[in-house]
Structure 1
C-alpha cells in the first residue's frame, strides 16, 4: 500500500512540475515576444534598422506589409521604410497596446501576436500632422531557441475617437 501511495504522489508531483515548467516556458516566451515588439517600436520611432535586423528572419520570399505598402525582404523594409521615414518626420510616436500573444503547435515553435496601434507624426515638408490608429499582426517562428518575426502586417486609418452617447 505504501508503495502505491508513493508511486501516486511521485506521479502527481511529476505532472505538477511539467505543468509548472510549461507555464514558466510560456511566460518566458511571451516576454521574449513582447520585448521584440518593444524593440520594433524603438526602431520605428528612432529610424533604427538594428532591432529589425536582430529580430526579423531574413529569408527569400519575406514580405512585410505596412498600411497598404509592401516591403519584399528585410533590407527593403529597413532601407526603404524604417530609416527614411524617421528623416521625413519632425516627430514620430508609435504605441502598441492590448498585445495578445498566442502559441501554436505541439512544440510551441510558432506564435502570433496582435496589437492595437496608435501612430502620431508630423511631416517635415508640409508640417502636416498624422494621427492614425489600427492593428498590427506579427508572425513568429522559434529558431535555435530564439523568436524571429517572419511576417508583419499593419493596417491603420485616421484616428477617430469614439463619441460618447448623450441621452
Structure 2
C-alpha cells in the first residue's frame, strides 16, 4: 500500500475513533439548547453557539454572520414564549470531520398553540477552548 493511502486510512480511523465523550458532549450542547428554548430563554439557548462575528447561520432569509445578529434575529422572530413553543430535536447523524470538528444532521419541531412548524438542520460544531460550539447552522 502506498504511503498516501496509509496516511489517509490512519486519518480516517482516527476521526472515526473519536471519543464517545465528545459525541455525548455535542448531544448535551443540543439538549441544553432545547431546554433553554423551552424555558423561553433565548440568551441561554445562544450559549451553544460560538460567540464570534464569524458565526454563520443560514435560514429562510439567507446567511447571517455573527453571534449578536443571530441572537437579534431569534428575538425578532420569536418575541415571546408563545412564539417559541416547545422545541424537540431528532438527531439523525453525528459525524466527526476532524478531532475538533463535527457535523450534525437533525430535525426540529415546534409545538405551538396554533401551528407546528418543523424542518431540518445541519450543524458544524468545533471544539473551542475545550467546549463544543455551533459555528455553522443551516436550518430550514
Q: TM-score range by the shorter chain?
A: 0.7 to 0.9
Deviation per residue, 1:121-164 (Å, 9 max, x gap): 23xxxxxx121222111111112221111011111xxxxxxxxx
Show the 5 A alignment for 1:8-157. Answer: 26-48=19-41, 49-52=43-46, 54-68=47-61, 70-82=63-75, 85-87=78-80, 89=82, 92-105=85-98, 108-122=99-113, 129-155=114-140
Q: Which runs of 5+ in 2 are unaligned?
A: 1-12
In the alignment, the residues of structure 2 paired with residue 83 and residue 30 of structure 1 have an alpha-carbon distance, to the nearest angstrom, of: 32
Q: What TM-score does the superposition give when structure 2 sets the normalisation length?
A: 0.73
Q: Which runs of 5+ in 1 are unaligned?
A: 1-18, 123-128, 156-167
Q: Which runs of 4+ in 1 moved over 4 A?
A: none
RMSD over aligned CA atoms reads 2.6
Is the contact between residue 45 and residue 86 of structure 1 (CA under 8 Å) also seen in structure 2? no
Is the contact between residue 49 and residue 135 of structure 2 (CA under 8 Å) also seen in structure 1? yes
Matched length = 125
User: Residues 91 and 74 of structure 1: is their aligned pair in 2 closer, same or farther, counting only changes over 3 Å?
Assistant: closer
Higher relative contact order (CA 8 A, sep 6+): 2
Aligned position for 1:4: none
Deviation at residue 90 of structure 1 after TM alignment: 6.0
In the alignment, the residues of structure 1 paired with residue 25 and residue 62 of structure 2 have an alpha-carbon distance, to the nearest angstrom, of: 27
- Structure number with greater Rg is 1
Aligned position for 2:8: none
In the alignment, the residues of structure 1 paired with residue 64 and residue 112 of structure 2 have an alpha-carbon distance, to the nearest angstrom, of: 21
